Amino acid sequence: MTPEGHAQARSKVFGEVAELYDAGRSGYAQEMAAEVLAYAAPGDRAAVEVGAGTGKATLPFAALGIPLVCVEPDARMAEVLRRHTAGYPNVRVEEHDFEQWQPGGRRYGLLFAASAWNFLDRDRRWDLAHAALAPGGATALIFGPHGIHDAALRAALAAIGDRHHLTGAPHRFLASDFSGDEAGDWDPRRPAAECRRDGRFTDLRAVRFRQERRYDPDHYLRYLASLSAYRVLPDVSREQALAEVRSLLDAHGGGIDVHQVTDVFLARAR
C-alpha cells in the first residue's frame, strides 16, 4: 500500500470507537476559532470543515455563529457530530470522503481541517481546497500535538511504542520540543512548504496556542486507544501496549503532565 493509501485507511478506523474518540480527545484551544475567523474574514460566506469527526474543532466555530458545512466520511462519527451540534442551526453535516465530496456551485470563505489534513490524498488536497474556496478565501490547518514534561517518562513511553511497532504515537515529544513560537516546527510534514510550492495561496501565517494539562491514567488510555496508531494494531498487541502504558503511569504518580499545543497554519487563496 502506498503511504497515501495507508493514511487514508488509517482515517477510517475512528468510527469503530466514535464514543471513545469523543471522550478521550481534549479538543483545541478555545481562542483558536476566533483567531482563525479574524484572519479569514469570511463575511457572509459559510465555512467548510474537512474531516469534522465528532466536532472537537466544530463546536468553537459553531458557537461563533458562522454557517458551517461539516464533511465527515464515517457515519458513526457523523452521528456523534450531529448530536453535539443539534443546538446549532448554522451547522450542516454531509457524509462524504472529502476527495469525493462536491462543493457544486458553493464557494466558501474558509476551509479548515483539524488533524485531518494528513489523512487526505497529498497529490490532490491543495487542488480540492482551492476548488472549494472563493477568491480570497482562507485555509486553516489545525494540529494538536503535545509534549511530555518528564523526560524519563517520555523515554519509557517511546520504548513501549517501539516494542509494539507503533507509528505516529503521540508520546514521542518532550515539552521542550515546543519551546519555539513557529507553529508546525514539530512535524516534518508541516504544510507551509507544500503550500508555497502550490503557488495559489498567499499571506501564509502560523499561530501557536499553549495549555498545560494533566491526564489521569484512564483519560490518557482512552485518548491513546482512540488514535489511529493504536487502532490499526492487532487487538492483542493494542491491549498489551495499553496495559504497559497504564502500569508505567501508575508507577509515575498516577498520571501524566503534558504541554498541549494547538498549531494553526493559515493561507489565503489568491
Highest mean pLDDT among 15-19, 21-25, 155-159: 155-159
Can you tell me the mean pLDDT for 153-173?
A: 89
Question: Nine-digit cell at 248?
Answer: 508505567
Q: What pLDDT is attached to residue 10?
A: 52
Can you tell me the mean pLDDT for 229-246?
A: 94
pLDDT at 174 over 70: yes
Can you tell me the mean pLDDT for 28-41?
A: 96
DSSP label of 123: T
Q: What does the buried/exposed string (b/e) look like for 91-121 if buried means 16 or more CB atoms within 10 Å of the residue's CB?
A: bebebebbeebeeeeebbbbbbbbbbbbbbb
Question: Nine-digit cell at 28?
Answer: 483545541
For 80-109, how does the pLDDT look when each residue is reduced to its tens digit (9 = 90+)?
A: 999 999 999 999 999 999 999 998 889 999
For 132-145, how does the pLDDT look when each residue is reduced to its tens digit (9 = 90+)?
A: 999 999 999 999 98
Can you tell me the mean pLDDT for 156-171?
A: 89
Report how far residue 4's alpha carbon sits from residue 160's, in angstroms, rounded to the nearest whole number: 26
Q: What does the buried/exposed string (b/e) look like for 236-265 if buried means 16 or more CB atoms within 10 Å of the residue's CB?
A: eebeebbebbeebbeebeeebbbbbbbbbb
Q: What pLDDT is attached to residue 201?
A: 97
Report how far residue 184's alpha carbon sits from residue 125's, in angstroms, rounded to the nearest whole number: 18
pTM over 0.75: yes
pLDDT at 158 over 90: yes
> Which residue in 40, 83, 43 sits closest to 59, CA to CA?
83
**What string of DSSP letters covers 163-215?**
HTT-SS-STT-BGGGG-SS-TTTT-TT-SHHHHHHH-SEEEEEEEEEEEEEEE
Q: How much of the chain, in percent, has pLDDT values that exceed 90?
A: 74
All structural domains of the chain: 3-149+176-214+259-269 (3.40.50.150)
Contacts of 208 (CB under 8 A, 6+ apart): 178, 181, 182, 183, 261, 262, 263, 264
In whole numbers, what is the pLDDT of the chain averaged over residues? Answer: 90
Q: Is 57 exposed, middle or buried (0-12, 13-18, 19+ CB in 10 A)?
A: buried
Question: Nine-digit cell at 161?
Answer: 511504542
pLDDT at 63 over 90: yes
Q: What pLDDT is attached to residue 187?
A: 64
CA distances from 155 to 85, 135, 173 (A): 39, 47, 9
Among the residue ranges 107-116, 139-148, 168-177, the one predicted with the least confidence is 168-177
Can you tell me the mean pLDDT for 206-219?
A: 94
Between 1 and 263, residue with greater pLDDT: 263
